[in-house]
Chains A and B, each alone.
Chain A
Amino acid sequence: MSPSLSAQNLTTLGGLLLVLAILVPFAGMLIGFVFGGGNAQRVALATLAAGLAIAIAIANALAQSGKAVVYILGGWMPPLGVALRADGLSVVMLLTVAVVICGIGVYARADFGTPSGVKEARAPLIFWLLLLAVWGSLNLVFVSGDLFTLYVALELLTFAAVPLVSLDGRTETVRSALRYLLYALLGSVLYLLGAVLLYGAYGTLDIPLLAARVRPEPAAWAALALMIAGLLAKTALFPLHLWLPPAHAGAPAAASAVLSGLVIKGSWFLAMRLWFDVFADVVTLPAAQTLAALGAAAILVGNVVALRQTRLKLLIAYSTVAQIGYLFLMFPLATGLATAGLDSAMAVNGGMLQAISHATAKAAMFMAAGLVYTTLGHDRVADLRGVASALPMTVLAFALAGASLIGLPPSGGFLAKWLLISVAITTAQWWWALVMLVGGLLTSVYVFIVVVRTLAPAHVGWNPKTTVPRYQQAAVLALALCSFLLGAAVLCPVDVTQIGRTVSRNTVLP
């Protein structure tokens, strides 16, 4: 074992925090389940606060040490034991998820409070428990150090996410949930197949060990292709998105925010992890171009189809289909840089920023759509008049989130675009820059349509169906602001995402 590898197998200061990041949400879920009823919500909210604090502590540990945070379970060295590792990429995702989940938690208090006089209601109970389960599994995805734990994490994530689709129990939503489940399972099968192949060929599933052992040979090719395809199915990259629009549009607003903002990022993150950290010596530019080509198709088709939607939630769901596309443009850009012997950090940072800004913006958008629905009693895009006067903060939030999706400065979307376009030009892949610019224009059309429609004055004598609590609007606005001001990340003194990356980035031969 090389010295650099052994250094990655020592529990570091703060390593225990990684265990907490996984345990606390799941423990909260179990406690909530035991006490049940209205207590589930109280436990969940307390867990949210604790989890946010843990995420911040992990980030602090990473920033202080300047190295990845590692925890070796039971002191057993990989490949026998299991390691938890959080490098810069993981920590950034941990933090993002914590912030978004907390925002959603605040928002969901109004929609999923257990009504007074009832001891226990199904939808609220399930929602709060699953919210914690999703969080725990996402954290596990971000910090797992071996491919089998990651498989378990992915399965947990899927099984926690699917019931969120059908919380209301209507036949229609149960159908979309099943659709989601079946397709995600297909993806799991492919992923597992790939993992088995790798284990057979290299005798380990530990990420640093595997990264040192994989060679460009048939077993690695087949494994990577299977695993990536499976993950794409779970991420709903076009044309594998059959399940996404009905599932994300049919779920209750808070659940849609979880699904669209966070859940799909889990499998995307894993794909990225495999591509850059495990198979850095195996990946090729043409394969990366294939991923980005699908991404480009997603951006164009998703945006145009979003434009043609008549319901706000479906419009936002198709916007997610398009935004997923952006997440895959980074693959050929980073691979292109690595092939040229350059540091791929710029492309990876661009992709991460895109993911974070989409997570916050899309969660805000779905929650805004939920408030619109509560106020109007429908979410037909053609008839949103009066919304701006009834929900000024919500419309502002929608506009800011929209600006981030379009990529207007100072949003995170803008910074991401700037970085990715820079790389596209440096690596002479200008067509990806073109796709990003066209995608931004298409996005602006539907954001404009929705915002302008909400600005129209209401009919005389119209009154909101339900008055929305102020804190719900504030939660939506806070998340939208996170996304809109994320461009300030440029002021960050150190390149946080690159701390403790397990694989040196210049290993690919020209």
Chain B
Amino acid sequence: MKASDLLIATAVGAPLAMLLACLSPAIRKRMPTLLGFAPIPALAAALLADGTPLMFGNAQFEFSFAMDKPGAILLTVAAILWIAAGAYATTWLRNTDNAGGLVVCWLMTLTGCVGVFLAADIVGFYFLLAVLSVGASGLVLQGGTLKALRASAVYLGVALLAEAFLLAGLVMLALVMPHGSLLIRDAAAAISTSPWRDLTLGLLVVGLGIKAGLVPLHFWMPLAYDAAPIPASAVMSGAVVKASALALIRFLPFDAALPDFGLPLAAIGFFGAFYGVAIGVTQSEPKVVLAYSSVSQMGFLVAVIGMGLAVGNADAALAASFYAAHHLLAKGALFLAVGVVATTGRHRLWLVLLPAAVLALGIGGLPLTGGALAKLAVKPVLGDGLAGLLADLSAIGTTMLMFHFLSRLAASTASIPSTSAPVGFALPWLLMFVAAIAVPWKSYPLTGIGIGSYAFQPEILWAASWPILIGIVPMLVLWRWGRHLPQMPEGDLMTVGERAMRKVITWGYGLERAEGLLRRWPVATLMLLALAVFLGRMLIDWR
């Protein structure tokens, strides 16, 4: 086995082995202290592994894992986030007596997350995505409240719905793959030439779009990120949700221009980008505001992917990966910041709030931050037309939302002014802050999108600055009159969904009664005879 194979195998194998070790209660008890170490092999693999795939199985069926460029970019930053959040979780779990549930779900989600980033065949990808979804819904459940139970149920339900679409799409894809190959790298080409191209693409895009939190099926996001424990929200909003973006990047055929798919996808994405901001500013809970920012950012990311697909821009894959990587770091860090602030008194607040402000405004594209680089990376994909304008507008909206977040964050300090956050919270947060600033700068030239010094040119600085400056205006308006905004329920459209759900339950009652009728003797006996006759009739008719 080559070194590269070994790296990839341990990246997935280490968390999986730890997960299986949890079957022993004694090891499970010690596991919380090890959470931060589980993703280290993944980080090593992301930095060192080369492109050769790791295969295992036999001639009938082979699982394969491989590192491609988008995967390497995202796995690097995801591993950093998992390490920091894992360390944070270790401290967090010290105060709880029942750590087992969270540890198991954590490792399951980590296995799924690393696995999905590395999976190179369709079946393995679907399998690990299911592991990821089930694990993540378990993480939400660990909030332990009734709200968490509801959020977890919604999360799992939506995830399985998405996976149903995905399964149909993947099966259609597998049927047209050349030589029965199941490798994802053959997928894009196979889709382009498939007789069911439109349906396959539609199913894949809908399935992955739901998992990416596209409006109107985004409501699971604010519910889940609010109800989950802080470290879980950090990895979910950062790393877990990127799995679907990465899958879109890998499956969609960027070689051929497909405006029929790309443009609607971009339109839905942009709509989500603004919708997230609009609902986000009505929220008061910092975690919920962040969640709506995720709805908005994922919308924007999908819009970038959609535009790339529409014009057949092969660079879109890398640009979108880079954007996703920055969002992963920044959003993960901000969720940790919420936890740090909640345990910090007023006296030391600025120590957290200032770096948090840099990261938050970075998401809006603050010059010299990683966010500015991310915006720069996707600019060629969006172009200067309507999409470029919408991107600027969305930057304005994001800035406004982030100011709102910061003000809500400042109001959520610990009640005793002199408290300071435990080191076990502060250090992971610091690590994430440094990573969110440094990693994009370090990796920007490596990805080959452009060179870093370009970002210092005055016109580029100005292009990144004006949306921020404009964003201040609505923010001031919001602070002055924001009280008058209608309060949207958290998970907005979910309330509609729940009403529909109650309808279904009533139908269920009707169905139950009808079923009771069918189980009466006279009815059942008649049915049996009628069926025999009907079957006979069906056998005759055809020829």
Contacts and interface: CB of A to CB of B under 8 A. Distances in A.
Interface of A: 183, 186-187, 190, 216, 218, 221-222, 224-226, 228-230, 232-233, 238-242, 245, 282-287, 289-291, 294, 301, 304-305, 307-308, 403, 406, 408-410, 417-418, 421-422, 425-426, 433, 437-438, 440-441, 444-445, 448, 452, 455, 457, 490-493
A492 B515 contact: no
**Which of A307, A425, A493 has the most chain B CB atoms inside 10 A of its CB?**
A425
B153 A452 contact: yes
Contact of A284 (B164, B168, B541): B541
A115 B514 CA distance: 44
Given A225-B536, A225-B539, A422-B175, A239 B527 contact: yes
B58 A491 contact: yes
Interface stretch (B219-227, B429-437, B518-526): B518-526
B518 A239 contact: yes
Interface stretch (B10-18, B126-134, B274-282): B126-134
Interface stretch (B43-51, B154-162, B309-317, B460-468): B154-162
B157 A491 contact: no
The B interface is mostly helix, strand or loop, or mixed, namely: helix
B160 A444 contact: yes
A285 B59 CA distance: 34
Contacts of A493: 58-60
Contacts of B126: 409
B57 interface: yes
Nearest to B174: A422
A contacts with B: majority SS: helix
B60 A490 contact: yes
10 closest Cβ pairs, A-B complex: A225-B536, A229-B532, A409-B127, A287-B538, A225-B535, A242-B519, A284-B542, A437-B164, A242-B524, A221-B539
A408 B160 CA distance: 9
25 contacts: A183-B524, A226-B536, A229-B528, A229-B529, A240-B524, A241-B519, A242-B521, A283-B539, A284-B543, A285-B542, A290-B538, A308-B509, A409-B123, A418-B123, A421-B167, A422-B171, A425-B196, A433-B168, A437-B167, A440-B160, A441-B157, A444-B157, A448-B156, A452-B141, A490-B60
B508 interface: yes
B34 interface: no
B20 to A, nearest CB: 12
Interface string B468-502: 00000000000000000000000000000000000
B172 A186 contact: no
A225 B171 contact: no
Contacts of A225: 532-533, 535-536, 539
B303 to A, nearest CB: 28
Contacts of B351: none
B301 interface: no
Contacts of B98: 457
B17 to A, nearest CB: 17
Contacts of A284: 538-539, 541-543
Nearest to A179: B521
A226 B532 CA distance: 5
Contacts of A455: 101, 141
Given A422-B175, A433-B168, A287 B160 contact: no
A283 B523 CA distance: 27
A331 to B, nearest CB: 11
A307 B542 contact: no
B127 A410 contact: yes
A417 B167 contact: yes
Contact of B532 (A190, A305, A308, A492): A190
B340 interface: no
Given A221-B539, A305-B515, A490-B60, 15 more contacts: A183-B524, A190-B532, A225-B535, A240-B527, A282-B539, A286-B542, A291-B535, A408-B130, A409-B126, A418-B123, A426-B175, A433-B168, A444-B160, A448-B156, A491-B60
B527 A186 contact: no
Contacts of B529: 229
A403 B523 CA distance: 35
A448 B157 CA distance: 9
Interface in B500-517: 507-509, 511-512, 514-515
Contact of B511 (A301, A422, A457): A301
A299 B521 CA distance: 22
B534 A290 contact: yes
A489 to B, nearest CB: 10
Given A304-B511, A441-B164, A452-B149, A228 B174 contact: no
